[in-house]
Amino acid sequence: MAIASKGIEMSKLTVCVLLVLAASVPASLQAGSLRVAFGQVDITPELKGRPVFLAGYGYNRRATGVHDPIMARAVLLDDGQRKIAIIGADLIGVALPDVERIRENLPGVDYAILASSHSHEGPDVIGIWGPNPFTRGVHDDYVTLVVDRISQMVASLEGKLQPATVKFGTAQDEKLLRDSRLPIVYDPVLRALRFQSPETGADIGLLVQWNSHPEAMGPKNTLLTGDFPATTVAELEKMYHCPVVYVSGAVGGLMAPPRGLFYDAQGNELKEGDFAYCEAYGRAVAHLAEAAIDSATPIIVTPFRVAAKRVLIPVENPLYRVARKLGIVKRPVFELADDFETFGRQATMEFRPEEAGVKSEVAVAQLGQLRIACIPGELYPELVYGEFQDPIESNVDFADSPREPTAASVLGDDKWMLFGLANDEVGYIIPKSQWDSKAPYAYDREDRQYGEINSCGPDVAPIVMEALRRCVVELDGEGK
């Protein structure tokens, strides 16, 4: 009896010790079971009967055919308590109101992230690349098709979930990027997740994030294509025999495929606008991804938590204001308030505030040890690592503005990913200390650099990066 009693006491002690140890481990590191499912859907628009305008560059670029289908690809993740969908689409950028429609169609999914690749060779889904500056360039029923097909595809994944383990890896190569705006700053890091069967080790799927504009085909192409990510995905599917979801990262500033790097068998340089160049670059990105995937190490990605901030982005860009007034861009605007998380009255025909903004969203998805920053536009790489020019270039418009919080400083260690064009497209997100729209211009230029013309205004970066910081503070508070 004495021995049995002692055994019972020891069992109680063991349980108590385990409970104390479990309580001392942050919630973000307490792993649960993970299940995943991958899927894809064709969202190529019909070309018969009416024009399809390609997004990016100028006006009246009409699609004349299809080189490869416009796709949406997704991974659905389930930690046993919550489901999160990550969707990558071959589109210029899907507006938040349309992302919200997808979320409404997915009652079984706790949070959906739609990250557009920002392809300049896919259909306009925003409206500003029509036949002329005064005509909307997208058909609303096509946007509805995108919403419906993506919703149906993600919903179908709930019945296909299977157990998975995850590895996280990175690889970098500055040679695969070109920055056409001073100062020259890159985010040369490709980040990847590798999902595998816990029983067999077979690959279930990949998630790849890279930081370059999908514009290898340039402004003269008129064939619908996913641009270089289409080749990257195809190559990785061949290598690993599994589905691949591709998303873009910090592509602002202006990250693009390089020149003078690819040649044909005769030694002729492959150039922008040629599918041979596009495919060569896509293969190079795939090989960089291969290095990240093959060196990836195990990571705990459960449980799930999400902090999302609805933010009011001031629209100061006069072209954007005109586009909304003409109905070229269709989304509501609200009167500005003292804080960007506070929304004033919605504008109407009778109420037209002088200072107004659009509702957008900044979020951080905490997947166990991994953080995913969701940025609603084209983030400049300076805002990733803090490689700001020092001293600040003379003649910029806001030389005394404070530096924004950076993604790396806010997100913490190296286990993070950054999704650009995530859940919205508000244009370029430019460090305020780099904003330069008034003469005299920085770098002794005779005219301004490209960028500001496709940004809502100089306060976008301070708002987005502060919202990102607040998201992480909220998650850190919950995890204690």
Locus of tokens 């037209």? 352
- The residue type found at 418 is L
| Euclidean distance between CA atoms 297 and 169, whole angstroms | 6
pLDDT of res. 32: 62
How many Å apart are CA 437 and CA 295, to the nearest integer? 44
Q: How far apart are CA 57 and CA 53, in angstroms?
A: 11
CA distance 316 to 323: 12
The total of other beta-carbon atoms located within 10 Å of residue 393's CB is 17
Length of the chain, please? 480
User: Residue 423 gets which letter from DSSP?
Assistant: S
**Cα 354 to Cα 96, 335, 336, 462, distances in angstroms:** 23, 8, 9, 21
Determine the pLDDT at residue 49.
Answer: 87
CA angle 277, 90, 235 (to 5 degrees): 50
Can you tell me the distance from the alpha carbon of 42 to that of 44, in angstroms, rounded to the nearest whole number? 6
pLDDT at 234: 98
- Residue 201: exposure state from Cβ atoms within 10 A (0-12, 13-18, ≥19): exposed
Q: Which two tokens stand for residue 240?
A: 């690993």
Which one, of 474, 460, 211, lies nearest residue 363 by Cα? 474
d(CA 36, CA 79): 9
Mean pLDDT by 10 residues, the chain (480 residues): 37 38 38 89 95 96 98 98 98 98 98 98 96 94 98 98 98 97 96 98 98 98 98 98 98 95 97 98 98 98 98 95 90 94 93 93 98 98 93 92 96 92 98 96 94 97 98 86
**Residues 440, 446 contacting (CB under 8 angstroms):** no
- DSSP β-bridge partners for residue 163: 35
Q: Given the DSSP bridges, would you call strands 111-116 and 83-89 parallel, antiparallel or unpaired?
A: parallel
Cα 37 to Cα 27, 42, 162, 305: the distances in Å are: 24, 17, 7, 19
| Total Cβ atoms within 10 A of residue 403 | 17
One-letter identity of residue 253: G
Query: What's the rounded Cα separation, in Å, for the pair 138 and 130?
Result: 7
Tell me the three state secondary structure of residue 337: coil
Angle (CA) 349-354-356 rounded to 5° is: 80
Looking at residue 259, what is its pLDDT? 96
Closest CA to 98 of 61, 56, 141: 141
Contact by Cβ (8 Å): 112, 84: yes
User: CA gyration radius for the chain?
Assistant: 23
